[in-house]
Chains A and B, each alone.
Chain A
Amino acid sequence: MISQFFILSPRGDTIIMRDYLGNVPKASSEVFFRKVNFWDKGGRDAPPVFNVDGVSYLYVKDGGVFLVATTRENVSPSLVLELLKRIGGIIKDYCGLLSEEAVRKNFVLLYELLDEVIDYGYPQNSSSEALKEFVLNEPTMLKPSKSKGDGLFPGVGKGPTGVIKSILDTSRTEGKAREEIFVDIVEKISCTFSSSGHVQTSQIDGAIQVKSYLTGNPAIAIALNDSLVIGRRETSGATDYGGYRHGSDTVMLDDCNFHQSVSLDRFETERTLQLVPPDGEFAVMNYRSTYPFKPPFRVSTTVEEDPNSALKAIINIRITPDFGGDKAASGLEVVVPMPREVARVHCELGRDAKSGAATQSWDWQEKARRLVWKFKRVQGGVEHSLRVRATLSEGWGAGIKKSIGPINLQFTIPMYCASRLQVRYLQILKEHKGHQPYRWVRYVTLSNSYVVRT
Chain B
Amino acid sequence: MSGDGKYFSTTKKGEIHELKEELRVLDKSRRKDAVKKVIAAMTVGKDVSPIFPDVVNCMQTDDLELKKLVYLYLINYAKSQPDLAIMAVNTFVKDSQDPNPLIRALAVRTMGCIRVDKITEYLCDPLQRCLKDDDPYVRKTAAVCVAKLYDINPELVEDRGFLDLLKDLLADSNPMVVANAVAALADIRETSTQDLLVLTNQSLFKLLRALNECTEWGQVYILDAIAKMQIKEAKDAESIVERVVPRLQHANSAVVLSAVKVVLLQLPLIADEAATKALIKKLGPPLVTLLSEEAEVQYVALRNINLIVQKHPEVLSHEIKVFFCKYNDPIYVKLEKLDIMIALANERNIDQVLLELKEYATEVDVDFVRKAVRAIGRCAVTLERAAERCINVLLELIKQKVNYVVQEAVVVIKDIFRRYPNRYESIIATLCDSLDSLDEPEARASMVWIIGEYAERIDNADELLESFLEAFPEENAAVQLQLVTAAVKLFLKNPQPRAQQMIQLVLTYATQETDNPDLRDRAYVYWRLLSSDPEAARAVVLAEKPVISQGTATMDPQLLATLLGNLSTLSSVYHLPPSSFVTRAVHTPAPSLDNGALLRERTATDDGAGSSAGVSDGAPSPAATAAPQQSSSLIGDLLDLDISDPPPAPAAAAPPPPSVDELVEVVNAQSGKGLAIKAGFSRENNGPVFLLQLANGTQQSLDGFMLQFNKNTHGIAPTSQVVSVPPLGPGETAGASVPLTVNPALINPAANPNVIQVAIRNNQQGVLYFTSACKPEILTAPAPSATPLDDFFGL
* Size bin of chain B's contact surface: 35 or more
Asked whether A76 lies within 8 Å of B258 as measured between CB atoms, the reply is yes
B536 at the interface (CB under 8 A from A): no
A111 at the interface (CB under 8 A from B): yes
Contact residues, B315-347 vs A (CB, 8 A): 318, 321-322, 324, 326-332
Asked whether B254 lies within 8 Å of A79 as measured between CB atoms, the reply is yes
Interface SS of chain B? helix
A101 at the interface (CB under 8 A from B): yes
Listed A/B pairs (21) with beta-carbon separation below 8 Å: A23-B584, A45-B331, A48-B296, A49-B573, A51-B570, A59-B296, A78-B254, A79-B217, A82-B253, A108-B39, A111-B39, A119-B109, A120-B187, A124-B217, A136-B68, A201-B321, A255-B288, A257-B251, A286-B289, A449-B326, A450-B327
Nearest chain B CB to A41 CB, angstrom units? 12
Chain A 405-443 interface mask (CB, 8 Å, partner B; 1/0): 010100000000000000000000000000000000000
- Inter-chain CA distance A453–B356, complex, in Å, is 11
Chain B residues near A79 (CB-CB < 8 A): 217, 220, 254
B327 touches which one: A136, A203, A236, A408 (CB < 8 A)?
Answer: A408
The closest CB in chain B to the CB of A137 belongs to B65
Asked whether B570 lies within 8 Å of A75 as measured between CB atoms, the reply is yes
The closest CB in chain A to the CB of B576 belongs to A51
- Inter-chain CA distance A449–B321, complex, in Å, is 14
Asked whether A126 lies within 8 Å of B36 as measured between CB atoms, the reply is no
B582 at the interface (CB under 8 A from A): yes
Asked whether B582 lies within 8 Å of A72 as measured between CB atoms, the reply is yes
Chain B 192-222 interface mask (CB, 8 Å, partner A; 1/0): 0000000000000000000000011100110
Asked whether A120 lies within 8 Å of B147 as measured between CB atoms, the reply is yes
Interface residues of A (CB under 8 A from B): 1, 13-17, 19-23, 26, 44-49, 51, 54, 56, 59-60, 71-79, 81-83, 85, 101, 104-109, 111-112, 115, 119-120, 122-127, 134, 136-137, 140, 188, 190, 192, 201, 203, 205, 232, 236, 254-255, 257-260, 283, 286, 288, 290, 337, 399, 403, 406, 408, 448-451, 453
The closest CB in chain A to the CB of B304 belongs to A78
- Inter-chain CA distance A111–B8, complex, in Å, is 15
Chain B 564-602 interface mask (CB, 8 Å, partner A; 1/0): 001011110110001001111000000000000000000
Asked whether A112 lies within 8 Å of B566 as measured between CB atoms, the reply is no
Contact residues, B248-269 vs A (CB, 8 A): 249-254, 256-258
4 A-B pairs with least C-beta separation: A140-B3, A105-B3, A449-B326, A48-B296
Given contacts A79-B217, A126-B217, contact A56 B359 (CB under 8 A): no
Partner-contacting stretch, out of B40-48, B237-245, B765-773:
B40-48
Given contacts A76-B224, A76-B569, A107-B40, contact A288 B288 (CB under 8 A): yes
B512 at the interface (CB under 8 A from A): no
Asked whether A78 lies within 8 Å of B362 as measured between CB atoms, the reply is no
Residue of B318, B327, B566 contacting most chain A CB atoms (<10 Å): B327
B374 at the interface (CB under 8 A from A): no
- Inter-chain CA distance A74–B581, complex, in Å, is 8
Asked whether A17 lies within 8 Å of B286 as measured between CB atoms, the reply is no
Chain B residues near A137 (CB-CB < 8 A): 65
Interface residues of B (CB under 8 A from A): 2-5, 7-8, 36, 39-40, 43-45, 64-65, 68-69, 72, 76, 79, 102, 109, 112-113, 115, 140-141, 144-145, 147-148, 151, 180, 183, 187, 190, 215-217, 220-221, 224, 249-254, 256-258, 285-286, 288-289, 292, 294-297, 299-301, 318, 321-322, 324, 326-332, 359, 362, 364, 400, 566, 568-571, 573-574, 578, 581-584
Chain A residues near B332 (CB-CB < 8 A): 45-48
Residue of A54, A104, A109 contacting most chain B CB atoms (<10 Å): A104
Given A46-B332, A111-B69, A201-B324, 7 further pairs, Cβ under 8 A: A14-B43, A74-B570, A79-B217, A79-B220, A105-B2, A105-B4, A232-B285
Chain B residues near A205 (CB-CB < 8 A): 292
The closest CB in chain A to the CB of B281 belongs to A234
- Inter-chain CA distance A411–B45, complex, in Å, is 43
Chain B residues near A22 (CB-CB < 8 A): 79, 115
Nearest chain A CB to B585 CB, angstrom units? 9
Asked whether A81 lies within 8 Å of B296 as measured between CB atoms, the reply is yes
Asked whether B2 lies within 8 Å of A120 as measured between CB atoms, the reply is no
Asked whether B292 lies within 8 Å of A288 as measured between CB atoms, the reply is yes
The closest CB in chain A to the CB of B324 belongs to A201
- Inter-chain CA distance A71–B148, complex, in Å, is 16
Given contacts A78-B257, A78-B301, contact A101 B570 (CB under 8 A): no
- Inter-chain CA distance A17–B44, complex, in Å, is 8
- Inter-chain CA distance A47–B301, complex, in Å, is 13
Chain A residues near B324 (CB-CB < 8 A): 192, 201
- Inter-chain CA distance A190–B298, complex, in Å, is 16
- Inter-chain CA distance A192–B140, complex, in Å, is 50
- Inter-chain CA distance A45–B473, complex, in Å, is 39
Nearest chain A CB to B12 CB, angstrom units? 16
Asked whether B285 lies within 8 Å of A255 as measured between CB atoms, the reply is yes
Given contacts A73-B190, A81-B296, contact A290 B321 (CB under 8 A): yes
Asked whether B568 lies within 8 Å of A122 as measured between CB atoms, the reply is no
Nearest chain B CB to A342 CB, angstrom units? 14
Given contacts A73-B582, A82-B253, A107-B43, contact A126 B69 (CB under 8 A): no
Given contacts A107-B4, A120-B147, contact A72 B65 (CB under 8 A): no
The closest CB in chain B to the CB of A15 belongs to B43
Chain B residues near A122 (CB-CB < 8 A): 144, 180, 183, 187, 217, 221
Given contacts A47-B332, A79-B254, A105-B2, contact A448 B190 (CB under 8 A): no
Asked whether A115 lies within 8 Å of B217 as measured between CB atoms, the reply is no
Asked whether A108 lies within 8 Å of B4 as measured between CB atoms, the reply is yes
- Inter-chain CA distance A30–B41, complex, in Å, is 17
Residue of A19, A47, A111 contacting most chain B CB atoms (<10 Å): A47
Nearest chain B CB to A179 CB, angstrom units? 26
Asked whether A14 lies within 8 Å of B582 as measured between CB atoms, the reply is no
The closest CB in chain A to the CB of B190 belongs to A73
Chain B residues near A85 (CB-CB < 8 A): 294, 296-297
Chain A residues near B141 (CB-CB < 8 A): 119
Asked whether A49 lies within 8 Å of B216 as measured between CB atoms, the reply is no
- Inter-chain CA distance A77–B180, complex, in Å, is 19
The closest CB in chain B to the CB of A408 belongs to B327
Asked whether B578 lies within 8 Å of A82 as measured between CB atoms, the reply is no
Nearest chain A CB to B403 CB, angstrom units? 12
B45 touches which one: A26, A72, A286, A337 (CB < 8 A)?
Answer: A26
Nearest chain A CB to B602 CB, angstrom units? 10
Asked whether B187 lies within 8 Å of A1 as measured between CB atoms, the reply is yes
A136 touches which one: B40, B65, B147 (CB < 8 A)?
Answer: B65
Chain B residues near A54 (CB-CB < 8 A): 581, 583
Asked whether A104 lies within 8 Å of B327 as measured between CB atoms, the reply is no
- Inter-chain CA distance A119–B251, complex, in Å, is 23
Nearest chain B CB to A214 CB, angstrom units? 22
Chain A residues near B147 (CB-CB < 8 A): 120
Asked whether A74 lies within 8 Å of B288 as measured between CB atoms, the reply is no
The closest CB in chain B to the CB of A283 belongs to B251
A77 touches which one: B145, B148, B300, B583 (CB < 8 A)?
Answer: B300
- Inter-chain CA distance A46–B583, complex, in Å, is 23
- Inter-chain CA distance A107–B72, complex, in Å, is 12
The closest CB in chain B to the CB of A61 belongs to B296
- Inter-chain CA distance A126–B217, complex, in Å, is 9
Nearest chain A CB to B289 CB, angstrom units? 5
B359 touches which one: A254, A257, A406 (CB < 8 A)?
Answer: A406
Asked whether B4 lies within 8 Å of A49 as measured between CB atoms, the reply is no
Asked whether A260 lies within 8 Å of B69 as measured between CB atoms, the reply is no
Nearest chain A CB to B536 CB, angstrom units? 49
The closest CB in chain A to the CB of B583 belongs to A54
Nearest chain B CB to A303 CB, angstrom units? 16
The closest CB in chain A to the CB of B221 belongs to A122
A259 touches which one: B72, B251, B285 (CB < 8 A)?
Answer: B251
Asked whether B296 lies within 8 Å of A449 as measured between CB atoms, the reply is no
Chain A residues near B64 (CB-CB < 8 A): 136
- Inter-chain CA distance A81–B294, complex, in Å, is 10
The closest CB in chain A to the CB of B335 belongs to A47
Chain A residues near B215 (CB-CB < 8 A): 124-127
